[in-house]
Amino acid sequence: MASSFELTRNITVGQYLPTGSIIHRLDPRCKLAAFVILILGIAFCGTYGSNVLALILCTALFPLARIPIRYGLSGVKPAIPFILILAILQLLFYGKGFGTGGQTYFHYGFVTITSDSLRLVVVSAMRFVEVIFLSSVLTLSTSTTELTHGMEHLLMPLRKVGFPVHAFALIITIAVRFVPTFALEMEKMMKAQASRGAEFGTGSWWRIVQRTKDMFPIIIPLFNVALKRAEDLILAMEARCYTPTDERTTYKRYHASAKDVFAVVTSLVIVAVLFAIPV
C-alpha cells in the first residue's frame, strides 16, 4: 500500500545513463534529427520485410550505445497484454472493414482473416516495439538539457515564419523541470487526504464512477498548486526583466563533426531502404 504513494519512483522522464558511448557523444542536434527521421520512417512503412530490418537495427542500437537492453524491454513488458488483446480483436474484426484486400485465409460467420488484416496486426505490434526501443535509446543517451538545445537548434529555420523557437524551448524546459516537483506535491496531497480517511484505488475496478470521483480531491488541488507556482515563477522572471523575444546567446555551442553528419545520412539511407523493401 505504501508504494502507491511513491509517485516519484515511476518517473523516468529525464532518466539518463552516462556510458559515454559513441551515441552519447553525438551532437544533440544531429542525434535528434536522426531519431526523428527514423521514427517517422518506421511510422509510415508497412511491410513485413522493412519492419524486420527496422527491429534488428533498433535492437542493435542498444549495444552501440552501451545501454543494457533490459531498459528497452522494461518499456515493452507492461504493454504485452494490451498488444495481445488488441491484436486478437484486430484479427477477428478488421478483416471485414479494412483488410478486405489480399487473400482470405479464414472465414466463419462475421470473422474474416485476410492477408491484409494479418499484416496490419503484425506490423503495428512490431512498430510499437521499434518505437519504444528508439525512444528509450534517445532519452537514455541524451540529457534533457541537450535535448532542449538540440530541439531549439533544429527548429531555428521556423523563426523565418515567425515561430517563437526560443520561447518554445523554454516551455519544454519548464515542463520537464516541473514534473518531479508536482509529483512530490501530489504525493503530499495524497498522504494528506489519506490520513483524513480518503481512499485511493481501493475501490473495485468495475465501480468506475467511484474510482473517478476518488481522483477529484487530488486533481483539482494539483491544478491550483501548479497555477500558484506558475504565478511565483512569472513574478520571479518578470522581476529579473526576462524578455522572451530578445536575441540571446548560449553558454554551450555545438559543432557538428563528420560523424554527426554521418549519423543523419545513415538514418536517411536506412529510411530509404525501409521504403524500398517491397514485401
Partner 1 sequence: MEKGLTVRRIVISGVLGAIAILLGVTRLGYIPVPTAAGNATIMHIPAVIGGIMEGWPVGMVIGLIFGVSSFLNATVPLFKDPLVAILPRLFIGVFAYLTYVGLRRVNPYFAIGAAGFIGSASNTILVLGMAVLRGYMTFGVAVGVAITNGLPEAVVSVIVTLAVVASWMNLGTRKKSKLSDDNAAGDK
Residues 197-236 that bind partner 1 (CB under 8 A): 205-206, 208, 211-212, 215-216, 218-220, 222-224, 226-231, 233-235
Stretch that binds partner 1, among 10-18, 51-59, 104-112, 259-267 (CB under 8 A): 10-18
In whole angstroms, the minimum distance from the beta carbon of 33 to partner 1 comes to: 16
Nearer to partner 1, 66 or 96 (CB): 96
Q: Which residues are within 8 A (CB) of 240 and not within 5 positions of it... i.e. 6 or more apart?
A: none
- Please give the DSSP secondary-structure letter assigned to residue 184: H
Nearer to partner 1, 94 or 260 (CB): 94
User: Scanning residues 66 to 105, which ones bind partner 1 (CB under 8 A)?
Assistant: 78-79, 82-83, 86, 89-90, 93-94, 96-98
**61 contacts partner 1 (rule: CB under 8 A):** no
User: Scanning residues 159 to 188, which ones bind partner 1 (CB under 8 A)?
Assistant: 164, 167-168, 170-179, 181-183, 186
- Please give the DSSP secondary-structure letter assigned to residue 250: -
In whole angstroms, the minimum distance from the beta carbon of 37 to partner 1 comes to: 13
Count other Cβ atoms within 10 Å, centred on residue 11. Answer: 11
**111 contacts partner 1 (rule: CB under 8 A):** no
Q: Do 173 and 148 meet the contact criterion of CB atoms below 8 Å apart? A: yes
Q: Which amino acid is at 278?
A: P
* Residues shown for the chain: 279
- Please give the DSSP secondary-structure letter assigned to residue 142: S
In whole angstroms, the minimum distance from the beta carbon of 159 to partner 1 comes to: 13
Q: Do 250 and 29 meet the contact criterion of CB atoms below 8 Å apart? A: no
For partner 1, how many residues bind (rule: CB under 8 A)? Answer: 74
Q: Do 30 and 261 meet the contact criterion of CB atoms below 8 Å apart? A: yes
Nearer to partner 1, 217 or 256 (CB): 217
Q: How far apart are CA 17 and CA 79, in angstroms?
A: 23
User: Scanning residues 19 to 48, which ones bind partner 1 (CB under 8 A)?
Assistant: 39-40, 43
Joined together, the cell numbers standing for residue 3 give 508504494
